[in-house]
Homo-oligomer: A and B are copies of this chain.
Amino acid sequence: VRLRRSLESVHKVVVVGAGFGGLKAANVLGSSGVEVTLVDRHNYKTFQPLLYQIATAGLDPGDVAHTIRRIVREHPSVEVVQGDVESVDLTGCAAVLADGRSLPYDSAILATGATTHYFGVPGAREHAFPLYTLTDAMRLRAHVLSCFERAEADPGLVATGLLRFVLVGGGATGVETAGALAELFDMVMAGDFRRIDTSQAEVVVVEALESLLSAFSPPSRRHALETLHDRGVAVRLGETVSSIAPDHVILRSGDRIETATTIWTAGVQAASLPGRLDVDRTPAGRIVVNPDLSLPGHPEMFVVGDVAAAGGSDGRPLPQLAQPAIQGGRHAARQILRRTRGEPTRPFRYRNFGNMATIGRRAAVADLPFGIRLRGTIAWLAWLFLHLLYLIGFRRRLQVLAAWAWNYVAWDWGPRLVTPVEREDD
């Protein structure tokens, strides 16, 4: 088979994972007519930067998820396979699916993303709510809304922390979720209940470092902290969580916070598949890669996105965000094209376009290139514009724009639905 394929000079690429990195790679390769098999465990691609709006009932799941097959449909050479990649035979050059199917490749791109990393905190895996996947967000939404229903049924439970929501981690996801929860409680749900006052609900952010948004400039960090304070969010800096139970968390300082909802946004680690491969990994499980993003000893295998420990200009691994994944996916695809033409690969150079985080209505911070720092309404508008731009498809953009306009004007966020969602295994 291998002989026949090479005689026909068909170069077969397997891309594992259809997130930001994998999809970008599949699109680049598909545009050049390369035969690609794109594997993902889901039939949809999630726009993760807006997941927190699912969790806080600002958007519908359909607004941030898009069918993978539809995205790559215009490339006839790209085949989509829904399935779990169980292992990769690095020597035999084949990805093996959980159902036994084997996908041989000439080149491959590993873009499996990450899973929530609990750092071994007791009770975290069992009781904390992660926020990395679409089903995570839907489960969290149902839980948050249920807490209010339970409190309305028995207002005495408020004293047990039923309306206190603890976010572990003060990065962008933690800050954005905290701000959105505060607005949801104070403005959107106000007036919905008769026995409880939704504005009495508390949001607490626990951050291990001495500031929020550590990837941002000091002025942006301070602005985020002040804005959250103004909106009634309590922030505990230099503090970590040492254990989590269904009805409370214990902090390292010994403080105990009564809460029925601990949301874990403190970190992600490489997904479980890379853990089964015989490759070098960082302590967080990210795969060590060559400067061109290929796997050491395997020039035909590239690793991109959250799962790769690709270095930035400062030598530290790039942050686990959309931009490094997109740029990495594009780079890996181009190096595969170069190799098929017999050209040497080039090192990956990450272009940092900056960081953005929204804290709520007309409040955001943005650190852009050339030292441009925005905050307040202008940063918020920039955030809205860029997130609309990166959504896939005209329909989705229109839909989200309309939802945001309505949410802004009417304080009537739509999908406040408690529907049962099964927890998915990592």
**What is the interface of chain A, defined by CB distance below 8 A to chain B?**
42-44, 60-63, 65, 67, 69-70, 73, 79-83, 99, 101, 134-135, 138, 145, 149, 152-153, 189, 191-194, 393, 395-396, 398-399, 402-403, 406, 410, 412, 414-422, 424
Contact = CB atoms under 8 A, between A and B. Distances in A.
B412 A153 contact: no
Nearest to A415: B62
B419 A70 contact: no
B61 A101 contact: no
Nearest to A419: B135
Contact of A43 (B62, B82, B145, B403): B145
Contacts of A398: 402, 406
A44 B145 CA distance: 11
A419 B153 contact: no
A417 B419 CA distance: 15
A421 B421 contact: yes
Given A42-B418, A62-B62, A69-B193, 11 more contacts: A43-B145, A44-B416, A67-B192, A73-B191, A80-B192, A82-B152, A134-B419, A135-B419, A398-B402, A399-B403, A399-B414
Contacts of A192: 67, 69-70, 73, 80
B414 A43 contact: no
A396 B412 CA distance: 11
A149 B70 CA distance: 13
Contacts of A153: 81-83, 99, 101
Nearest to A416: B67
B417 A79 contact: no
Contact of A61 (B42, B99, B152, B419): B419
A62 B420 contact: no
A424 B44 CA distance: 24
A337 B344 CA distance: 85
A135 B420 contact: yes
